Structure 1
Amino acid sequence: MKNAIAIGTLSACLALPVGAQAQEYTLRIQSLFAEASLPGQNLLQFYDDIEVMSGGRIKVEPFFSSAVVKSPETFDAVINGILDGDTTQPSYQVGKDTAFQFVGDPMGGYDTPWQMYAWLYEAGGLEMARELYAEYGMFLVGWWVHGPESLSSSKPLASVEDLKGWKFRSPPGMETDIFANLGASPVVMDFTEIFTAMESGVIDGADASNLSVNKSLGIYDVVDHATYPGFHSMPADHFAMRLEQWESFPDDIKRIIEVAWEKLSFRDSLSGEVAIAMTANELREAGKTLHAWSLEDRKAFREGAVKAWDTYADSDRAKAIVASQKDFMTQIGLIGDGQ
């Protein structure tokens, strides 16, 4: 019996890469999401996956709801060694390079998460994005796309014409230019102020998040209209790590993390799609009106968005990423004659 145990232990050790037997990694990873949220639960599954697949060599110390530093500060906290992983928004880093906007949310560009993943994995996007991250000592493991967001409004938003004069909450940055060019009146305010501003009539509507999140915020307790399916914004959050640390991992650890992240991202998009569709059905049953824009209106919005891209992309790397996405969108018929 003792010989059998000894042989089994030896076999397990020999199955590991040379030099990896005693090496363990504890990763401190911060997310902006709450642990109980759907993305939070999906992250916990990812952490469990990499621990199990690595035979316990990878362990994660998770921090939810931006418990260590504010969400926009997570990236720099990883660079400085305070944290080991960042699962927040690339567009928080546009002050470093506007290219991060087009890695984080090429607004108005894509209809589905799968089109965004296709640019990343099939059209050279991942390589371009990793070069951008490397400039700041970071490594981009990958994206996760939670689904298209919806505009919420106290009045109908059935077409691009309905944007004219529409006063709504907007996050700062490129979005304000896109909507202002289409006749809307964006008002930049914090996410936490949305409900009160809509309830008091200070604004007519808001760009907050997808239907499910909007419903959880109570937005549809005060307004009756929303765009669905969403089209104007579909943020991709990232998983980024310090480049020096990533390069210190043996190849099997790198592969485990990358493969598990692809599983997490695709499953998160799938579960998000289901949740959004179920919410849409609930809202219809509650008497709310969901406005599906025509192909012509979506084309008009996308054309306006792409024009804003060209103005906003003010660095060589941003211009290259925009050119790559426009070329890919043309190939799959989202812009150009194929629309």
Structure 2
Amino acid sequence: MIKTFAICATASLVFAGAAFAQDSYDLRFQSSDTSGSEAFKVQQRFAENLSEASDGRINIEVLPVGSIVEYNETLDAVGAGILDGHITDSSYFTGKDPAFALIGNPVGAYSSAEELRAFFDDGGGTDLYNEIIEPYGVHFIGPAAQTPESVPSKVAITSVEDLKGVKMRAPEGMVQSAFADAGASPVNLPQSEIFTSLDKGVISAADATTLATNHSMGLHDVAKNPIYPGFHSLPLNEVSITLATWESMSEEDRQLVTEAVRGYADDLAATMRERDEAVAEELRNSDDVTLHSWSEDEKRKFRQIAQDQWEAYADRSENARKVYEALTSYLTSQDLL
């Protein structure tokens, strides 16, 4: 009887240990941001906050871009369990399905991170994105976004008409097509070549990133007519996890993770907005840099051009059509279209 009791007790401890192990998570998420960037620092705070909120049971190591796989390969890596999650721009996966372009960066759709998040929180975007992404073995936890991207320019661009003939850097895909339709002459250039290309006059403007990040890259030293606030590009910064890991979590842990992602989204938007506003104030007091803010009428004109691109992408897949219909329906209901 004593031996039997000892065996049963040992078995109970083994099962209890297994249950505890299942309730603890040590996860690796790869970011699309570099280790020294402000966004990456916010992502590290997100991981620290989640660890604290879960009493150390849910730990995420945030890795910078390219640590394990290339920036556009994380979807497959998360689905395969090579990574446990990613924090990235969803439009990087457009090659797999045009729906990723429409849900990740519908050009001209949003003027703020709050507008983007509202589509996912209130407009059905989160459920729709999970319908698209879960077949890849990935679960979308929630949306985040920085500030709308600025356009550093050597020439004053205050309207759609001013874009005509301007040679500008723009990435392939929807952004490039929208600027081309607006009359600009977009070219492909890696971000690392933007400064030199502006400096040498190869291009006159660039679709780059946020005002503060552009400034840190020295772009306003050579492109002294930036468009700010930005309005044309506001990419989704998605936080997603391996589907199997998500399904293994208790409802309580899922809620902890979801709340931590919401906190991350708040922190990211506030941090990047504060940096942009500080740089904008510095540039307003500068003698040789002029900020150009577009009127609502001109923004509307550009968005009407961009919407032609939305519809073109919608025709390319069933999922893209679903995103297009959900997005346009929601924006219309909010008087934002």
Q: Secondary structure at the match of 1:26?
A: strand
TM-score (norm 2): 0.91
Q: Secondary structure at the match of 1:241?
A: strand
User: Mean alpha-carbon deviation: is it higher for 323-332 or for 60-69?
Assistant: 60-69
Q: 1:19: Cα distance to partner?
A: 4.3
Measured at CA, do residues 48 and 316 of structure 1 come closer, stay the same or move farther in structure 2, by a change above 3 Å? same
TM-score (norm 1): 0.91
Q: Please list, as runs of the form range in 1=range in 2, the aligned pairs for 1:240-279 lying within 5 A after superposition.
A: 240-279=240-279
Opposite residue 325 of structure 2, the aligned amino acid is A
The residue number in structure 2 matching 1:50 is 50
Q: Secondary structure at the match of 2:142?
A: strand
- The 8 Å contact of residues 20 and 250 in structure 1, kept in 2 or not, is answered as no
Q: 1:244: Cα distance to partner?
A: 1.4
Opposite residue 323 of structure 2, the aligned amino acid is I
The residue number in structure 2 matching 1:14 is none
- The 8 Å contact of residues 76 and 136 in structure 2, kept in 1 or not, is answered as no
The residue number in structure 1 matching 2:319 is 317
Opposite residue 335 of structure 2, the aligned amino acid is G
Measured at CA, do residues 167 and 244 of structure 1 come closer, stay the same or move farther in structure 2, by a change above 3 Å? same
- The 8 Å contact of residues 151 and 205 in structure 2, kept in 1 or not, is answered as yes
CA shift digits 1:25-77 (9 cap, x unpaired): 11011112233322112111111111111111112222123322221112211
- The 8 Å contact of residues 170 and 186 in structure 2, kept in 1 or not, is answered as yes
Q: Please list, as runs of the form range in 1=range in 2, the aligned pairs for 1:113-262 lying within 5 A after superposition.
A: 113-262=113-262
Gapped regions of structure 1 (runs ≥ 5):
1-17
1:92 equivalenced with 2:92 (yes/no): yes
The residue number in structure 1 matching 2:296 is 295
- The 8 Å contact of residues 156 and 225 in structure 2, kept in 1 or not, is answered as yes
Q: Distance in 1 between matches of 2:21 and 2:80?
A: 28
- The 8 Å contact of residues 80 and 137 in structure 2, kept in 1 or not, is answered as no
The residue number in structure 1 matching 2:328 is 326
Q: 1:323: Cα distance to partner?
A: 1.2
Question: How many positions carry a matched residue from both structures?
Answer: 318
Q: 1:95: Cα distance to partner?
A: 1.0
Measured at CA, do residues 50 and 289 of structure 1 come closer, stay the same or move farther in structure 2, by a change above 3 Å? same
Gapped regions of structure 2 (runs ≥ 5):
1-17
- The 8 Å contact of residues 43 and 62 in structure 2, kept in 1 or not, is answered as no
Q: Distance in 2 between matches of 1:289 and 1:36?
A: 28
Q: Secondary structure at the match of 1:60?
A: strand
Q: 1:203: Cα distance to partner?
A: 0.6
Q: Secondary structure at the match of 2:29?
A: strand
- The 8 Å contact of residues 104 and 235 in structure 2, kept in 1 or not, is answered as yes
- The 8 Å contact of residues 164 and 183 in structure 1, kept in 2 or not, is answered as yes
Opposite residue 303 of structure 2, the aligned amino acid is R
CA shift digits 1:152-204 (9 cap, x unpaired): 11100111110000100011111121111111000011111111111111111
Q: Percent identity?
A: 35
Q: 1:22: Cα distance to partner?
A: 6.6
RMSD, aligned CA? 1.5
